[in-house]
Chains A and B, each alone.
Chain A
């Protein structure tokens, strides 16, 4: 005899009911947790921006320890003195600039008539001014992004990188101190003041990165595509800020 659960009508009803129940459940969970998740992302952005300008809780020389989540809001207000958005020749103050989604901007910028909004965060610490630029690009598997703190001559003062899905142990090491610290002091302009970016390069005979003006840092072993992605990201993203820095020095 055919079992009750073998009937087509039963199967169909079961499938519909299951879809509705599971769908509702997941939508509900996502909705309930959405605010909390967005808040986590916002805090993380603030932490990363502060990290790039050297405000962190690192103790050992391999640490990447962000400022704790309960202190980050206060610190962000204290150290980030100004946030601006550069759009073509127009520069506007915007204290929500750090929430601008770079991915959306990059996609919008593909349209010819859209001038991309470029956020820039100006931080002050111990009398020194940092210009922190968010960057976003492609690694081997997925998105990579970061924050680069510059001085007014476009010399890197600090960097932070992160990634969505680079290979663990290889490309994922782009978040490690021995890599991100190599960027500190590195010049983005060449000796005659033209924008050159920073190339992540294997075998540049400078593994300890003693030469800061060569526009090169030593690459990660086994992560060529990730390294190329970082080079391209820095070149493409920072290029848009060059006029701003040129203006800054004229004043």
Chain B
């Protein structure tokens, strides 16, 4: 029975429970049985978790405990994943996560659980697809807050949402602050007079700056698919399906007996009844009714007659075998005993007993049933001993009793997460007892006449049970053997005489034995007239039942084959993709110039997959800083493809080590599939060295353009430039020729250029200038004045060690207000750094003489160059920037000593 009905009764209008499942909540090793339902309201879903009584039928049987909204932060994942080991038929363990709360549940084996989980997963997938443009609000859960223990969870949810929103605002504020800082810097650089124009230029410059820093962007939606292990379910289903392959039928004899003893004590041997078979039965299942009619038995379910009759039964069993008592169960006067041949005991398992009363008020034990279920070899067997409602005209009441018994007797399973097992769920059901069905529509004399003639066939047509079964009102699917014995009720106690009381009851077959299941043959069905203790006669049935016995060898083979098939299925479901290429070579990579290639990833596996480039051990990112993959992660449906752009871009951060030969353009990307394979993508490139990103000292030693030099020479010079001893043969130039070329160009052509250093150049022209400097192919630098100016700035920015080395940074800041002290520091710089500094400041002073034309002044020039020549090894704050500017301004004012340097400037 689907228990969602019980949950539905607790819900408000417009809300529906799609599906419900019983589970065990695992919390600090405490197991708590729960009922969990997937509840829907419009397009929103939530999990409602209830405490519940044994079997939830109405809303009163469940108590709401916790509510977990299915939102973006919700997840339900398998705790034991398929690639981990699991026991055959084991339950599905899932972890439900919502924000910081975590709940571990154990769901029972079966298709119902799989259906439940797939519904939950679908609900969550819908939320993910809507995210972030649309997010559920869960207003409809508010009314449950008061009655629900999950109110705290909801408050946390609301709090978390608030936190998230405030975090977004903080992020926005931070972004705004960054923009403001940039704008302030730009404005202060240009002065107030050019404010509106400067804003436009600033934006353009921001774009340039942004272009030089590759930004990782991942817009792919991560639709993670929670995986629910199917392994155990598959194994169990396949074993059931292939049961015939490893089981065979072996017949066992079952002696079923029923005796209403009318509250009497044993007075005679029961052997004529119990030992009436030629050979000893394998099983005895003996049922008694009206064991004790006293009010003590009724009120306290206690009676001294139980051990008396138990002993009588034991003495009456077949003498040719040794029997073990497996189980005894009693409800007031209804008792069932289960004996088995001792040799069969080891093959009996999962023995459970249950009782149900259908008497007074439909619940008391004066009528009802007791039942034992067990597994013998591979067959499940359930035996019911029932005492149904009395009196001839109450046959419909008896029918109802039968239905109540079938519905209400539920056996607890060994695994508490499995639902209780009902009677009719068993392979074999054996039903015996005082069913109290009478013979109706015949006068007593006519009945007795038919009995005396032994015309039981005719008499049977008036039997109520036969008629009700023919109408399929009761005992549907059950079989009863042919009755060839006289009615078993009612006799004068102690005799074989029909009831001689004034009531003079019509004889009836009240005591019956029926069965349901395959491979069952009845060997005898009889009453035992010699026993006179009661007003009923005992009845017995000897059944030969075919039991499914496991052939261990066949089982092993079947199991292994099933496991092999499931392994194969599992391996087929390992995510897998194909790549268009595995190796990428980037030819002639240049400084500040993008190169891009595309790799197409195609999901040719049998399942959707999540892919992600993952970092390698001991590396800070999944790839080298000069490389990006976009998108770096994503989701691929089965059969889908995605193009991933692989982009190489060498900037000022990565150029120095490449120029010096300390790094190569080499990397291996690891493309990882969630729960799947890893793919290696090899990236190689040839990098063309550039003066950009080379050190001043190395460049001073280069007499030829850098790309005309063999790589080994460049590396030697890089090493040599660090040593204090320099051979006379390799006397360095005073300044790098590249700086000279750019400054000379600007000196010749750009002294009067309006807005020099304030307008960005063209990227394509920069590339030409870079190539010209690196290859020396032209005598004159190409491009506009602004492009050459920007190239100079980029060059200074790309120096691995700035013109004023990092080690001097703090000193410069400390004495920024003392002009003579500043000059003293410059005098202590390494020679080539000092030369470059003096050369640049002389040039800038010359530019300032033409302010009328180029509109440069100290306040414009100082911030631009100060930040490049005097760089912090760490991030600069505003205060430091101010000091840096103040330091540099001293050198833009011409002094008598600077005049000499100026006169030496090349014309």
Does A pair with B?
no
